[in-house]
Structure 1
Amino acid sequence: MSWEILIPLLVLLPLAGSILNAVFGRFLKGFAGILGTLFSFASFGAGVIAYLQYHPFENQVPQIVNFFPWLEVGGFKVDVAYQVDQLSLFMTLIITGIGSLIHLYSIGYMKGNPGIARFFSYLNLFLFAMLHLVLAENLVVLFFGWEGVGLCSYLLIGFDTHKENAANASIKAFITNRIADLAMIAGIALTYWLAGSVSFTKIAENLPQVKFFQQALPIVAICFFVGAMGKSAQFPFHVWLPDAMAGPTPVSALIHAATMVTAGLFLIARLNYIFVLVPQVGFWIVCIGTFTAFFAATIGVYQNDIKKVLAYSTVSQLGYMFVAMGAGAYVAGLFHLLTHAFFKALLFLGSGSVIHSLHDEQDLRRMGGLKSQMKITWWTFLLGTLAIAGAPPFSGFFSKDLILEKAYFFHPVFFAMGIVTAFLTTFYMFRLTLLAFTGKSRVAPSTHPHESPWTMTVPLVILALGAAFSGYLLVPESLGGGVDVLERYFAPVFAQGVSYSSKLKNASIAVHHLAPGEEIILALCSLGAIALGFGIYWVFFAKKEKLPQDESSYTGWRALPANKYYIDEFFQNVFIGPLSWVSEFLSEVVEKRWIDTVLVGAGKVSGGVASILRRIQTGTVVDYAFLIVLGTVLILSAFLWRGI
């Protein structure tokens, strides 16, 4: 199958499923989920074929597929075109592969929901937008997908239209991302101004030829980074993601764990040849990533909602990935993106299995003792917890430790902060897992926990395998591996940035390597943090079967992380409140009292004048002749008077 057919087909299949469910979903009823799932699996199959045809370990040149001409204004021309290379195929397989498993899971989770056709229509539409984003050949097509996933996020978070918190959360996510997207638009405009093109390949070729590009490039990089911060929920744009848990759990797994929130990281990786030239921006990316990882982890320690814990964990893990991207260790960041996609999707779907079994109960203090009734969910969830904590030999151990190694090279302070974050991650994840599945049952007597149907457990098992073994794609020699599959795979994508780094003095890219002994010492530090996190929770909380307090009951310094550092209250009082007051003033006073009064008054004056003039319209020819003569006399008199 030719590229001209295969790649557009890969993108359009989910769109076709979305349209069919939107138009005929009410007639399909229970088959709506099956239809949407089949289209997502078909797209995954097309992605696998594209991967095999491209031969990513041999091919060094991207394959450009022009779909159709789109915009042409003067010298500005944009085609709907797709770029097939190692990075786009990597993201495509994650999106369609994990997305298809989440579609299958949703068949069981959403069974009996009257809006199931609408739900699967939105899910398919999201896959279409996300594929459009990662396969884009230029910034404008990428931005189309960028805004498309934002729209789908809004629709899916607010899917339960009868829930006020879901509606508010969807609006919050939409507005927060639109603020960051203003910077994204500015970055696209500046890039076109500098490079004369929005095509990724032409930008890479043209930028170094611009005389003053080194002075303007930091501004371009900052604009794109701010846009990435919004999508990937970095401080202070993180506030939308925890509230987004108001949507159905499959939405949390698909959009806010495995795919949409990684769009910002993908953008930095795609524009690596820009970021590698501005190490000063990279420094701030590392700072914000490190702070976000630690900051979110401290909040996760005090959350009692099973999905909120995982939400803050997602923000924290994304912070790790940004540390790698800022340090120029793009492969390390994408490696953790892959492993995180497996274990975080697994954890979210596992939490959904628990919520489904307990009839929408999400408070960890009302769970306990579930491992005997939900054995598949228990074992897969435990594996996901071990993976995210970084316990060997699971995937998170390899990907997270690689990032910590790069952070150590950047500065030991960032490594130390990463170790503390790893300790907190282990603490709150084992707190979640043990509270939900072990100890005495605190489930309501009227609830009878049971294992979820096969449509939900099969995706859990497959994702658990990915969480267990995906880390073996990149294993250092000191840890008994010497496997560099991902390094070799991504080498062509980052070759341009490496060449710039070698030619320009101010460019930087992470090419350092630790001695085997140093790698072992850093790995032992990470393992020590994991052991300490688990040990403290086990000794002081689990053995005593001590239940956590309500978030609002903490006092002193613990009230800060328990109340999310009052960031939402700060935004409410400093920005939202005053803006709401100004909006209300403009609406009620300026518009209704002033502008409407002037317009209504003008209308009344016009009506009064018209009512007088209307009387002149008698319909009699003699009257009209008299008025014509009278008008002529008056005009002549005016001229004569002026002459005198």
Structure 2
Amino acid sequence: MSLLPLTFLLPLAGTLVLALSRGRLGPRSSAVVGVVSVGLAALVTAWIGWHFVDSGVGGVDMTLWTWLSVGDFRPTIGLRLDGLSLTMIGIITGVGFLIHLFAAWYMQGEAGVTRFFAFMNLFVFSMLLLVLGDNMLLLFLGWEGVGLCSYLLIGYYYWTEANGWAAFKAFIVTRLGDVFLAIGLFLMFRELGTLNIAEILQRAPEVWAEGAWQAQLAALLILGGALGKSAQLPLHTWLADAMAGPTPVSALIHAATMVTAGVYLIARLHGVFELAPGVLYLVGLIGAVTLLLAGFAALAQTDIKRVLAYSTMSQIGYMFLALGVGAYDAAIFHLMMHGFFKALLFLSAGAVIVSCHHEQDMRRLGGLWRRLPLAYAGFVVGGAALAALPLVTAGFYSKDEILWEALAAGHGGLMLAGLIGAFLTSLYTLRLIIGTFHGEMKSDNARHAEPGRGLVHGLPLVVLAVLSTFLGAWIHPPLEAVLPTSPGAGVHGAGHTVLGIVAAATSLVGLGLGAWLFLTRWRWLSERVSTGWAARLWWLWHNAWGFDIAYDRLLVRPYRGLVRLLESDLIDRLLLLAAWLAWGLHRGLSLTQSGKMRYYAATMAAGVTLVLLVLVVSG
């Protein structure tokens, strides 16, 4: 376990080498540094994981040094390796390495490759620090690091103004959540006297009774931070715009790093949420609503990356639903499976985009399944896992577990929302595949598509495709000693079997309906959504239920109006009123100093007359 620091120091070293190269490294050398540093971190993680599981220890703590010492406050640079953090670093370094490897192909011919891989390595470093930190202060450092890296990478093509605004939006919206989390840290330190995660989980039930307002407030503040990072309602609007960055960035954000941080945070601090059952249920409710709204929004997108973005939002909603019913193990299991098939889908989308000369509008693609067989296979396998195709895909087993846990916990409404979400997932997934790969080629970019070649292009897609099948579902996170047992864990009776059949049928019905609509009734469907109420519904879903428009009118425009009102600095003018009064009096008195004797004599006579008049009247 002494190698544990290398898992995040290697990506950090890659960042430093790239950042300090000052342009001396070419694109190929920069890609090698970026890929190898994360690849070595993945090998170290595999070695550590094998020894950890083989040893059977529940957890390992490692203190590197004391960060600062102020009175009794002595936060450390300390690491905690247990089943949860091991699972997370496995996903981050393993899937992250495959994404970096694919990026070496994707970024060929792009400007600023050194800068790109420096930011990507820093992203991996920050996320590893987040999940390995044994205290909330170190976790928060990594938390802010991934926020910074998301800004840098989403706005990678900064010379296009829209990309800069997309990065700015992601940074600001996630910062709103971070403010809540920061306040939550202050509250926990004041109430519990520590920021060490293990001590928080130990002291929280000793200090707070179940339902205590302090516990509920702390849980709400933590949830606020998680909503921002994991793009859940109402702090979800940044995620679709995050597609402005290169496609490997989208894969890293959606599959291996940033959006999983909120799920990890709630699972890690489960003890606090257990003391606030109302807030815990709110987590599940927000997840259920988000997965439905995002599912409908995905149905009406035309950009293949935006479809996948809303799909990620929906799948993270499933994880929040699982957290909300106390099925922490199911949430992390789905997080892992989602990392496999969503990375596959995004990298396959990247292969399509590069091959079609950066065309990513489904309305201008089509007919590519023969021209791009590997990307097509990636979409089919990844899409099947996303739609939870029964028995043969990884997504079926993780999603089925979430639905069963919701039912076993007595939350039938949340389970029903999950089933509806599964139906929607099948519809938009099939629409995505058919619109991209079937039918006629609709543009010259599609007709002149050039399939990707080479090991760095094909190997990540093949490995992720294998992990997205039922073979990936054999990888079970070692969470027994870390997270509490969920209500339906280990129960596989008739009820579970029936629900599994219902879930499988829901997925198959959705796929069948999608095949009928998008293969045989596409023209009829297009005509129906072009006029009347269907057109208005399409517009609503295409604009993601109008949240951006509502926020613009309710928050952004009033704020800008206030800024314009204060542009003249009214408060400053009020403070300067005394100075202006003194200046005005001075100007008035200075006019009396003319230097002309007759004016002075007249003034003195007028003054004496006025005084005598006052004395006579008052006497």
Other structure's SS at 1:463 match: helix
2:539 is the counterpart of 1:562: no
Look up the equivalent residue of 2:370 and give its one-letter code: S
| Mapped partners of 2:352, 2:527: distance in 1 | 21
Q: What corresponds to 2:552 in structure 1?
A: 572
Q: What corresponds to 1:482 in structure 2?
A: none
Look up the equivalent residue of 1:573 and give its one-letter code: R
Q: What corresponds to 1:642 in structure 2?
A: none
Look up the equivalent residue of 2:30 and give its one-letter code: A
Q: What corresponds to 1:93 in structure 2?
A: 90
Q: What corresponds to 1:257 in structure 2?
A: 255
Other structure's SS at 1:468 match: coil
Q: What corresponds to 2:500 in structure 1?
A: 523
| Mapped partners of 2:168, 2:582: distance in 1 | 38
Match of 2:573 among 594, 601, 620: 594
CA separation of 1:214/1:519 partners in 2, compared to 1, >3 Å: closer, same or farther? closer
User: What is the deviation of 1:16?
Assistant: 1.1
Q: What corresponds to 2:479 in structure 1?
A: 490
CA contact (8 A) 1:191 1:220 kept: yes
| Mapped partners of 1:445, 1:79: distance in 2 | 54
| Mapped partners of 1:195, 1:445: distance in 2 | 60
Look up the equivalent residue of 1:299 and give its one-letter code: A
Q: What corresponds to 1:293 in structure 2?
A: 291
User: What is the deviation of 1:580?
Assistant: 1.5
Matches within 5 A, 1:337-376: 337-376=335-374
Match of 1:332 among 319, 330, 334: 330
User: What is the deviation of 1:601?
Assistant: 7.7
User: What is the deviation of 1:333?
Assistant: 0.4
CA separation of 1:52/1:304 partners in 2, compared to 1, >3 Å: closer, same or farther? same
Look up the equivalent residue of 1:204 and give its one-letter code: L
CA contact (8 A) 2:374 2:458 kept: yes
Deviates more, 1:348-357 or 1:372-381: 372-381
Look up the equivalent residue of 1:64 and give its one-letter code: D
| Mapped partners of 1:561, 1:120: distance in 2 | 35
Matches within 5 A, 1:558-637: 558-590=538-570, 594=573
| Mapped partners of 1:9, 1:572: distance in 2 | 45
Look up the equivalent residue of 2:559 and give its one-letter code: L
CA separation of 1:550/1:197 partners in 2, compared to 1, >3 Å: closer, same or farther? farther
User: What is the deviation of 1:367?
Assistant: 0.8
Look up the equivalent residue of 2:463 and give its one-letter code: I
User: What is the deviation of 1:386?
Assistant: 0.5
Q: What corresponds to 2:33 in structure 1?
A: 35
CA contact (8 A) 2:431 2:514 kept: yes
Other structure's SS at 1:245 match: helix
User: What is the deviation of 1:192?
Assistant: 1.3
2:523 is the counterpart of 1:543: no
User: What is the deviation of 1:522?
Assistant: 0.9
| Mapped partners of 2:509, 2:203: distance in 1 | 51
CA contact (8 A) 1:194 1:213 kept: no
Match of 1:185 among 174, 182, 192: 182
Other structure's SS at 1:24 match: coil
Look up the equivalent residue of 2:546 and give its one-letter code: Y
Look up the equivalent residue of 1:534 and give its one-letter code: L
| Mapped partners of 1:104, 1:391: distance in 2 | 28
| Mapped partners of 2:186, 2:527: distance in 1 | 50
CA separation of 1:604/1:355 partners in 2, compared to 1, >3 Å: closer, same or farther? farther
User: What is the deviation of 1:548?
Assistant: 4.9
Q: What corresponds to 1:456 in structure 2?
A: 457
Deviations 1:222-275 (A, max 9, x none): 111111111101111110000101111000000123321000010111112222
User: What is the deviation of 1:205?
Assistant: 2.2
Q: What corresponds to 2:153 in structure 1?
A: 156
Other structure's SS at 1:533 match: helix
2:57 is the counterpart of 1:59: yes
CA contact (8 A) 2:243 2:250 kept: yes
Q: What corresponds to 2:405 in structure 1?
A: 406
CA contact (8 A) 2:129 2:138 kept: yes
Q: What corresponds to 1:397 in structure 2?
A: 396
Measured on the aligned residues, the alpha-carbon RMSD in Å equals 2.5
2:56 is the counterpart of 1:76: no
Q: What corresponds to 2:603 in structure 1?
A: none
Deviates more, 1:580-589 or 1:101-110: 580-589
Deviations 1:424-477 (A, max 9, x none): 100000110111112222132685112113222211111111111355337xxx
CA contact (8 A) 2:385 2:468 kept: yes
CA separation of 1:25/1:40 partners in 2, compared to 1, >3 Å: closer, same or farther? farther
Deviations 1:578-625 (A, max 9, x none): 11221232234448x8389889989999xx9xxxxxxxxxxxxxxxxx
Q: What corresponds to 1:416 in structure 2?
A: 416
CA contact (8 A) 1:63 1:83 kept: yes
Deviations 1:10-59 (A, max 9, x none): 21111111111112162211211111111111111111122123236711
| Mapped partners of 1:589, 1:148: distance in 2 | 35
User: What is the deviation of 1:70?
Assistant: 1.0
CA separation of 1:283/1:470 partners in 2, compared to 1, >3 Å: closer, same or farther? farther
CA separation of 1:599/1:256 partners in 2, compared to 1, >3 Å: closer, same or farther? farther
User: What is the deviation of 1:206?
Assistant: 2.0
| Mapped partners of 1:32, 1:548: distance in 2 | 46
CA contact (8 A) 1:385 1:429 kept: yes
User: What is the deviation of 1:558?
Assistant: 3.7
CA contact (8 A) 2:243 2:309 kept: yes
Deviations 1:532-581 (A, max 9, x none): 21222222331245385899976344432232111101000001111122
CA contact (8 A) 2:406 2:414 kept: yes
Structure 2 unaligned blocks of 5 or more = 588-619
TM-score, normalising length: structure 2: 0.89
Q: What corresponds to 1:379 in structure 2?
A: 377
CA separation of 1:66/1:599 partners in 2, compared to 1, >3 Å: closer, same or farther? farther
CA contact (8 A) 2:441 2:447 kept: no
CA contact (8 A) 1:130 1:149 kept: yes
2:439 is the counterpart of 1:439: yes
Q: What corresponds to 1:628 in structure 2?
A: none
| Mapped partners of 1:349, 1:493: distance in 2 | 32
User: What is the deviation of 1:303?
Assistant: 0.5
Deviates more, 1:14-23 or 1:339-348: 14-23
CA contact (8 A) 1:133 1:143 kept: yes
2:143 is the counterpart of 1:146: yes
| Mapped partners of 2:133, 2:423: distance in 1 | 39
User: What is the deviation of 1:218?
Assistant: 1.4
CA contact (8 A) 2:12 2:121 kept: yes
Deviations 1:104-139 (A, max 9, x none): 111111111121100000000101100100000100
Other structure's SS at 2:77 match: strand
Deviations 1:340-399 (A, max 9, x none): 000001001111110101111111011111111111111121000000100021100100
CA contact (8 A) 1:298 1:561 kept: yes
TM-score, normalising length: structure 1: 0.85
2:12 is the counterpart of 1:15: yes
| Mapped partners of 2:276, 2:569: distance in 1 | 49
CA contact (8 A) 1:56 1:86 kept: no
| Mapped partners of 2:574, 2:192: distance in 1 | 46
Look up the equivalent residue of 1:405 and give its one-letter code: W
Q: What corresponds to 1:612 in structure 2?
A: none
Match of 1:202 among 183, 188, 199: 199
Deviates more, 1:400-409 or 1:128-137: 400-409
Look up the equivalent residue of 2:320 and give its one-letter code: F
Q: What corresponds to 2:113 in structure 1?
A: 116
CA separation of 1:406/1:212 partners in 2, compared to 1, >3 Å: closer, same or farther? closer
